[in-house]
Every structure is written in C-alpha cells, then in structure tokens.
Amino acid sequence: MSASRPFCTRRAFLGSFAAAAASVTIVPRHVLGGGGELAPSDTFGGALIGCGGRGGGTFEGLSSGGVKSSVKKLADCDVRFLDRADNKTIYTDFRRVLERKDIDLVAIATPPHWHALISIAAMQAGKDVLCEKPMTRFIAEGKGVIEAERRYGRIFQIGTYGRLGASHNRDANTTRKIMLSGLLKECKGVHIHDGGWKVKEWSGKVNAPPQPVPRNLDWDMYCGPAPLRPYQGHRVGGTHRGYWDYEGGGLADMGQHYFEGPNYTFGKDLTSPCEIDSNAAPAHPEAVGMWGWVELKFDDGLTYVFNSREWGKPYDRLKSRGVSMNDLSPEDQKKVQAMPDPEPLLEFQQAVKTRKPSSGSALTAHRTATLLHLANISIRVGRKIRYDPVKQEIVGDEEANRLVNPPMRAPWHL
C-alpha cells in the first residue's frame, strides 16, 4: 500500500497536488435529540469519497429514511470542489477518513476502478457503505466486496434501487416465486432492454494526444489500481466511462440500473448466465467503442438481451417474452400459490438501523454487475463466451478469462 497522504488546509492545498479520486469531507455526528432533531441513535457521522459528478446525489442517499448524516456540504481535494465545503479542511487520501471514529457511513462516488478497494477498506474499518453503480470494474472484485461484507458484518448497498422497486410489485414477486420454485423445467422467458445505453456518448477517444496534468490533480492517485497512462482530459469527469481502465462505457454505466430489477424478478440474483454472445465493432484495447447487442442466456433457458440501437442491425433473434403461471401445469400453479411471498427488501437506511441486509447487498449487486462485465468481455474479445456461474470463470477461453481478474497496478491489490 502507498504511504498515507497528509492532512492539508486550503492554503496548503493550493500549493500542492490533490488526489481527486480519493476525496472526502467530514463533519462530526450530531449528539442532541428532541426539539425536531433525530435521536442520537438515528444520527450518524458520514463521509463522501469522490465528490464530482454523482457525489452529491450519492451522499444524499445516506441522509433519508429516518437516518441523518452529519455531513452538510461536499468537498473534494480537487480545488474545483473545495469551495463547496463548510469546513475548508480536507483529506487527500481516503484511508485517513476511514481511520476516524466519528464516521459511521461512507458514500463512494469515485470512478468504478476505485469502488471495490474503497468499499472493502471502509467495511474493514467498521463503516457501512453506499456505493455508486456499477459495483465493480471487473468480476473478481465483486467476490472481494462480498467477503468483506460477510467478514466484517457491515451493511453494503449499491446505489440503485431496482431490486427494491421490483420487490414492491405483485407480478414481479409472482414471477420470482415461479422461477425459484424449480417447477419451470424449461424457461422460455426473454427480457430485452432496448436503447438508453449511451453507447456513443460514453465511447473513448482513440489516439488522443497527451496533455499536461492539471495542478489541482494528482494523476497517480486518480489512476490508483488502474494502469498509469499519459494524462488526457477525456479520461476524467463523466467521460472516464469511455475507457476500460476505469469503467465499461454506457453499458456498465446504465446496466446496473436496468437489470437490478429483472435479476430480482427472475430470481437470478445469486447466479449468472452461462452463454454470452455479442454483435459489436472491433474493440480497442483502451477505448470503449460501439456495439449493437449482447445476448446472455442462463442454464434454464432464460435470456437477457442488451439492444443498443446505436450500431449495426437491431437485435432480431428472439422476441420479448415474460414468465407466467400459464407456463406451469394446474398442479404446479397451486404449489407456487402456496409458497410464501418473498421477504420485504430494506432500503439502506433501514438496513443500517436494523442491521439486516439491504436491498442491494454485495452478494446480489455482484451478480448484476457480472452481467455487465460478461457482456463487455464478449464485446472485447469479439466472440461468444461460456461462463461457469459457480466457479465464476470463463470456460475454454484463456484470453477472455484474463479479463475476469486483470492485475491491479502495484501497490494496490484486493
């Protein structure tokens, strides 16, 4: 691990580089109840790590549902965000905030190549975590976050509430019971998500010339576990999504939103597809490019389709088809109807208060993120791949399997 970075003031910061990817702001927790204030047991010290882009919205997720965080404003060790803080004192290394005893909740809104490492470190330090989507940059990271959630007994919530919404839908719960009953021997369901994938918007630039690193940015810390490439302005801000080093294009950006709900509905939140095919332009080794569709098939026959409608011919292999009681015999329908309804899912704040798993726990969020990573792996290698959902390995394709667990840049590691 790299050495801790110093505590700094505004004046000191302006004379030095800052770590944009590992920024936080802190205010101690409230201690008074009554008089319109929440009771101390419902008031927590919170911190935001990564304050640009989605930072403000992610942090708001800590302070609702009967839970209040004591952080009031945002700050970032990038000077552009410094004036948003009530307190002009900042930390330039996320590990410094995790050492503090007055921080209970951590919101993570860095680019995804930092999500897993910061989530693991936060839970190891005894903090509950609300993390922006996608949960991880590659598949193997998800297993590390799951283990940290289990080992340290912390609450983890991915920053999308698709499973929570689906759990409040009667039809979704009926479909879930059908799928989990084991009575549907051959599933013919097809779930197609058409458009909205931001493929062109979040494509990377090829052969963009290097630029000088801005004074307000510690480029080495921004890259962190990702390769240390020459600085280019398109690699920071929202456009970081266009580079494999940090994310996986619009597919990774939007997919966790789109498929948390279906994964709950179809009971696929504890498994993964076994066959993945795609239609895409030849992939660049660094810059995310254009793709048309991805087809992901589970071992029971259920098929998901990502249809971009931004490149090539639209997907036309299968038609969208749901799952219903009519797919079962009358006898099996009665068995499903006799099954208890799924347990209600909890929002992050409820999970924090009750110490029960949240609606977007690491275990289930990992399986949704795996859909996105598998889709991108098929796009990158340019062919159909087969996946073992139990071993969580790509079968018979060494090149593709290397993308399941690519190396991190030293000294960072899982």
pLDDT of residue 17: 32
Residue type (1 letter), 222? Y
Q: Domain extents for the chain? A: 7-161, 164-202+245-343+361-401
pLDDT of residue 340: 95
373 phi/psi in degrees, rounded to 5: -65, -40
The answer for residues whose C-beta is within 8 angstroms of residue 151's C-beta and 6 or more apart is: none
* Ranges of the chain with pLDDT below 70: 1-42, 51-91
**DSSP class of 84:** T
DSSP states of 128-184:
EEEEPSSS-SSHHHHHHHHHHHHHHT--EEES--HHHHHHT-HHHHHHHHHHHHT--
pLDDT of residue 215: 85
Distance in angstroms (rounded) separating the CA atoms of residues 189 and 300: 10
pLDDT of residue 55: 55
Give the global pTM: 0.88
pLDDT of residue 199: 98
If you count DSSP H runs as helices and E runs as strands, how many of each does the chain have, helices first? Answer: 14, 14
The answer for residues whose C-beta is within 8 angstroms of residue 213's C-beta and 6 or more apart is: 219, 231
What would the CATH number be for the domain defined by 164-202+245-343+361-401?
3.30.360
- Comparing 7-161 with 164-202+245-343+361-401, is the CATH topology the same? no
pLDDT of residue 45: 81
**DSSP class of 339:** S
296 phi/psi in degrees, rounded to 5: -125, 120
What would the CATH number be for the domain defined by 7-161?
3.40.50.720
pLDDT of residue 243: 98
pLDDT of residue 32: 35
> Each residue of 278-331: pLDDT tens digit?
999 999 999 999 999 999 999 999 999 999 999 999 899 999 999 999 999 999
pLDDT of residue 84: 52
pLDDT of residue 410: 97
Burial bucket for residue 329 (CB in 10 Å: 0-12, 13-18, 19+): exposed
pLDDT of residue 57: 56
Closest listed residue to residue 177, CA positions, set 165, 164, 167, 190: 167
